[in-house]
Amino acid sequence: MKEIALDVSHVSIDYKNLMHMSLHQSILKNGVQKSEIIRAVDDVSFSVEKGQILGIVGRNGSGKTTLLRSIAGIFQPDEGYIDTHGNRVSLMAIGIGFNGNNTGRENILKSGMLLGCKLDYVKEHMDEIIEFSELGDFIDRPVRTYSSGMYSKLSFSVTAILDTDIMLVDEVLSVGDEHFRQKSYKKMEELMMSERTVLIVSHATETLTHFCDKVLWINDGKLVQTGDTAEVLERYNESMQL
């Protein structure tokens, strides 16, 4: 029996959505705003074996990113639990994880420390990360000056080169120029050979077909199906045509 790297058990996550009120309404109600509870993830359970590559699909707003961020520890579930079995987890996503006012180099150091890596280890791999990112002199400029493609290059480079046990990938493989995408694909293939556990959120069917052992499909926060990549993607793609 293979070792389990990640357990997600009956996880539900809620958002509070503040309802819009005009200034006049706000004054009449003493500034109190109404809110509604939105269940972004609804009673989702699954396990991932060590070294497994799991794809996650669903329509926009189905809860994929919320689920990934919960596994990364950014959100706490309102119900259920997530057990990473002591594994270190990294999240690769656009628009999260970096301080925009700090340089790329400074963010590499901070990100590495947040991933649980020792400072000397991060410094040892600094040049490798910078070279892989292809950012050149931009590495010493504030991240807020980066394009989305540059941001994704840095995010991928940090997560792929620093050694973590579970890697969460949220659409990053689809961003950037063609050359870097091809290089990222090759690096992902190398990571799979090292038995790293990977969860990939993507709308790109070809990416999931190429990389994933299994696919999990969620819709409106609920688990629809999990299983063989080709089987799940076929049903998912059929539903997208409706």
Q: How far apart are CA 184 and CA 176, in angstroms?
A: 10
pLDDT digits (tens, 9 = 90+) for 44-78: 999 999 999 999 999 999 999 999 999 998 889 99
- Res. 178: pLDDT tops 70: yes
Do 88 and 14 touch, CB atoms closer than 8 A?
A: no
156 pLDDT tier (thresholds 50, 70, 90): confident
- Res. 20: pLDDT tops 80: no
Q: Give mean pLDDT, residues 112-131.
A: 92
Q: How far apart are CA 230 and CA 109, in angstroms?
A: 39
In Å, how far are 13, 174, 216, 234 from 57, measured between CA atoms?
A: 18, 14, 6, 12
* Choice among 114-118, 125-129, 198-202 with the minimum mean pLDDT: 114-118
H-type helices in the chain, by residue range? 23-28, 64-71, 104-114, 119-124, 126-133, 148-161, 178-193, 205-211, 229-240
Task: Quote the pLDDT of residue 104.
Answer: 96
Task: Quote the pLDDT of residue 14.
Answer: 95
Residue found by looking up tokens 């050979």 in the block: 193
**Both structure tokens of 62:** 């189905």
Q: Using the Cα atoms of residue 202, residue 205, residue 211 and residue 214 in order, give the sign of their dihedral.
A: positive
Mean of per-residue pLDDT scores for the chain = 88
Q: How far apart are CA 211 and CA 196, in angstroms?
A: 13
Q: How far apart are CA 199 and CA 27, in angstroms?
A: 47
Do 53 and 192 touch, CB atoms closer than 8 A?
A: yes
Domain map (residue ranges) of the chain:
48-240
Task: Quote the pLDDT of residue 176.
Answer: 64
Instruction: Pick the more confident residue, 193 or 11.
Output: 11
Do 156 and 92 touch, CB atoms closer than 8 A?
A: yes
Q: Is 88 exposed, middle or buried (0-12, 13-18, 19+ CB in 10 A)?
A: middle
Task: Quote the pLDDT of residue 190.
Answer: 84
pTM of the model: 0.82
Q: How far apart are CA 101 and CA 142, in angstroms?
A: 5
- Res. 34: pLDDT tops 70: no
Q: How far apart are CA 44 and CA 39, in angstroms?
A: 12
Do 77 and 12 touch, CB atoms closer than 8 A?
A: yes
pLDDT digits (tens, 9 = 90+) for 75-102: 899 999 999 999 989 887 765 678 999 9
CATH fold, domain 48-240, is Rossmann fold (3.40.50)
pLDDT digits (tens, 9 = 90+) for 124-155: 999 999 999 999 999 999 999 999 889 888 98
- Res. 17: pLDDT tops 70: yes
